[in-house]
Every structure is written in C-alpha cells, then in structure tokens.
C-alpha cells in the first residue's frame, strides 16, 4: 500500500515540475523594429519559421511584445523590406533593423475614373523611362 502512495506522489510531483520545465522554455521578448534611417516600421509580421505561423504583429511604433521559445528563431517580414530571421538565444530584448527592398519596374499601369454623365474607365501603361522623363519636367 505504501508503495502505491509513493508512486502516486512521485507522479504528481513529476506532473507539476514537468509543466514548469515546458513553460521555462518560453520567454517574454520585446523590442522595436526600425529601418536603416532609425524610423519605426509599423505592422511587421513576426513569424515562427518552423511552422510559418504568425506569432505577433508590431504596433504603429514598431514595438512588439510576445512569448517565444528561448532557443528558437523569429522571422520579421513586411512589404517593402527584406525579411530577417533572428535567433532568440535567450535574449529578452531584440531590436531589429530592416533593410529597404528596391525593385525595378518595367512599366507602370495608371488607372483613372472620369465622371461625365457616365463613368469611364481608362487604363494606360507607361514604360518607366517615360515616367522618369515626365518627372524631370
């Protein structure tokens, strides 16, 4: 009888300490996301690269606060910037600097609506060369 109480008590202790070990792998991380000029980058997706799940989105000041695996990685993605993957390595404050992406366009499409008794749709395509000439004037 004493043996079964001992096993029950041992299992109970293992259950409580086992959950603490699982929770101990996650830490609270906070930081700020900026561009190379030091301006905050708002609404950056912060993704777990293992499963591509979005963990958090930064606020309008580029700040974020989340729970993550202390030995895991975080991937920061935003339109107009290169994605950046950073190892957590137990750090509780991770400030990120994103690099602008420069994309060359072959042409630009301009869509306009004109109202003259009837709504008309006008679509015009311009080569980028013509647009740059128009901008110089």
Round to the nearest angstrom and report the end-to-end CA distance of the chain. Answer: 96
| Judgement on whether residues 42 and 93 belong to the same structural domain of the protein | yes
pLDDT digits (tens, 9 = 90+) for 84-137: 999 999 999 999 999 998 777 666 666 656 555 555 555 555 555 544 444 444
Total structural domains within the chain = 2
| Judgement on whether residues 67 and 128 belong to the same structural domain of the protein | no
Token pair for residue 135?
A: 């901008």
Task: Measure Cα distances from 35 to 7, 31, 32, 63, 85 in Å.
Answer: 57, 14, 10, 13, 15
| Judgement on whether residues 60 and 125 belong to the same structural domain of the protein | no
Task: Count the neighbouring beta carbons within 10 Å of the beta carbon of residue 46.
Answer: 23
Paired sense of beta strands 73-77 and 84-87, if any: antiparallel
| Judgement on whether residues 94 and 111 belong to the same structural domain of the protein | no
| Judgement on whether residues 64 and 7 belong to the same structural domain of the protein | yes
| Judgement on whether residues 72 and 131 belong to the same structural domain of the protein | no
Q: What is the pTM of this model?
A: 0.61
Check residue 102 and give its pLDDT.
Answer: 78
Q: Which domain holds residue 132?
A: 107-136
Between 122 and 82, name the one with better pLDDT: 82
CA atoms within 13 A of residue 10's CA, in its CB half-sphere: 6
Token pair for residue 31?
A: 């930081």
């Amino acid at each position: 009888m004493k043996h079964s109480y001992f096993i029950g008590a041992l299992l109970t202790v293992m259950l409580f300490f086992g959950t603490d070990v699982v929770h101990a792998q996650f830490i609270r991380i906070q930081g700020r996301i900026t561009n190379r000029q030091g301006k905050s980058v708002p609404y950056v997706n912060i993704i777990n690269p293992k499963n591509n799940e979005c963990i958090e989105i930064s606020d309008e000041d580029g700040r974020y606060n989340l729970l993550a695996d202390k030995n895991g990685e975080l991937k920061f993605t935003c339109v107009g910037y290169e994605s950046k993957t950073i190892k957590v390595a137990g750090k509780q404050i991770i400030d990120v600097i994103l690099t602008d992406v420069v994309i060359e366009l072959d042409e630009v499409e301009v869509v306009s609506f004109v109202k003259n008794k009837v709504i008309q749709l006008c679509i015009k395509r311009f080569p980028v060369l013509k647009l740059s000439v128009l901008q110089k004037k």
